[in-house]
């Protein structure tokens, strides 16, 4: 994408994905209404908002799984999606779940092994999905997304089915991979702490419209007990409540 986004006086960074004036209708139901949304290369954006407000629909548009009723959708490079559930094929071993239909590529198995090593599952290459814990299965889903070498990683409530401890370690894992591979990322989450832990920018979507955006200019790794973190959280909670009214 040729044009650039500016951020608070920082160097211009190219945009990896952009929705401009996007409207999405299902029959009579307008789910997204005049949405402008962009992600810069290597930027981590969190998308939050009430249930049924169009977050998954926005992600599916970015992933090319849906098309807009009006407006423009532009995405450059590869896109990978991690869903709430790992969606593993039970009849295939872990490494083949990473590859999916890419098994014919000459270096595919070693790339699958590398992706599994990146998520700490190098010892599970030959395992069957049924033998994995929920957190391990979701790590395989992350490896599968990583294998595609995405320019844009889309994560739709990827950790919401996991316990708090596993969730926290998955957040650290995704941040580590993001720092290593510098993909742009959009995570949908209902957890404001999660949004504040991972994101450079948090966008609130309500009733199909973007109603608030905030930058998170805190150094990583973020301290959830710090006054700065909690001041941002309070402000976000206020904006979130306003978005419901
Ligand atoms: N394929 C579809 N056909 C018809 N309506 C749909 C379709 N997909 C989504 N919708 C509707 O679009 C609206 C937004 O759905 P979406 O899944 O994007 O919400 P969401 O913000 O992700 O919600 P949640 O937080 O519960 O996951 C809902 O009213 C939903 O019923
Ligand atoms: Mg959703």
pLDDT of res. 107 = 86
Say yes or no: CB of residue 54 within 6 Å of ligand 1: yes
pLDDT band at 104, cuts 50/70/90? confident
19 occurs within a structural domain: yes
Mean pLDDT calculated for residue range 183-209: 97
55 lines ligand 1 (CB under 6 A): yes
Structural domain includes residue 220: yes
Q: Could you report the per-residue pLDDT of 150-174, keeping only the tens digit for each?
A: 999 999 999 999 999 999 999 999 9
Q: What percent of the chain has pLDDT over 90?
A: 88
In a domain, 32, yes or no: yes
Is the CB of residue 206 below 6 angstroms from any atom belonging to ligand 1?
Answer: no
Q: Which pLDDT belongs to residue 226?
A: 97
CA dist 32 to 130, 209, 243, Å?
38, 6, 15
In a domain, 98, yes or no: no
Query: Other CB atoms closer than 10 Å to residue 238's CB: what's the count?
Result: 11
User: pLDDT of 81-99, one tens digit each?
Assistant: 999 999 999 999 999 999 9
Domain presence at residue 102:
no
Parent domain of 51: 4-87+151-244
Q: What is the pLDDT of residues 3-12, one digit of tens each?
A: 555 445 455 8
**Domain contains 137:** no
The residue nearest atom 28 of ligand 1, judged by CA position, is 52
Question: Best of 28, 31, 84, 204 to mutate for ligand 1, by most ligand atoms within 8 A of CB?
Answer: 31
What CATH code is carried by the domain that includes residue 71?
A: 3.40.50.300
Residue 141: how many CB atoms within 10 A of its CB? 24
Q: Is 131 exposed, middle or buried (0-12, 13-18, 19+ CB in 10 A)?
A: exposed
Q: Is 136 in the pocket of ligand 1 (CB under 6 A)?
A: no
pLDDT at residue 102 tops 90: no
Mean pLDDT score of the chain = 93
Give the pLDDT of residue 105: 79
Tens of pLDDT along 206-230? 999 999 999 999 999 999 999 999 9
Is residue 213 in some structural domain?
yes
Domain count for the chain: 1
Indicate whether 75 belongs to any domain.
yes
Share of the chain above pLDDT 70, in %: 95
């Amino acid at each position: 994408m040729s044009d650039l986004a500016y951020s608070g006086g920082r160097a211009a960074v190219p945009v990896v994905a952009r929705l401009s004036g996007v409207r999405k209708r299902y029959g009579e139901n307008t789910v997204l209404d005049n949405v402008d949304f962009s992600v810069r290369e290597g930027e981590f954006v969190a998308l939050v908002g009430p249930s049924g407000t169009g977050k998954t629909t926005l992600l599916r548009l970015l992933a090319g799984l849906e098309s807009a009723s009006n407006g423009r959708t532009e995405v450059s490079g590869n896109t990978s999606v991690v869903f709430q559930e790992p969606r593993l094929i039970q009849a295939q071993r872990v490494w083949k779940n990473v590859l999916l239909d890419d098994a014919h590529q000459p270096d595919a198995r070693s790339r699958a092994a590398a992706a599994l090593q990146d998520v700490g599952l190098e010892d599970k290459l030959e395992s069957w999905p049924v033998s994995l814990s929920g957190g391990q299965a979701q790590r395989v889903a992350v490896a599968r997304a990583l294998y595609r070498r995405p320019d844009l990683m889309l994560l739709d409530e990827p950790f919401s089915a996991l316990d708090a401890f596993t969730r926290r370690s998955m957040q650290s894992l995704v941040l580590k991979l993001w720092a290593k591979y510098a993909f742009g990322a959009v995570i949908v989450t209902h957890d404001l702490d999660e949004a504040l832990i991972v994101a450079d920018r948090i966008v609130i979507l309500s009733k199909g419209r973007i109603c608030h955006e905030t930058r998170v200019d805190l150094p990583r790794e973020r301290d959830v007990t710090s006054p700065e973190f909690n001041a941002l959280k309070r402000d976000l909670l206020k904006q979130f409540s306003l978005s419901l009214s």
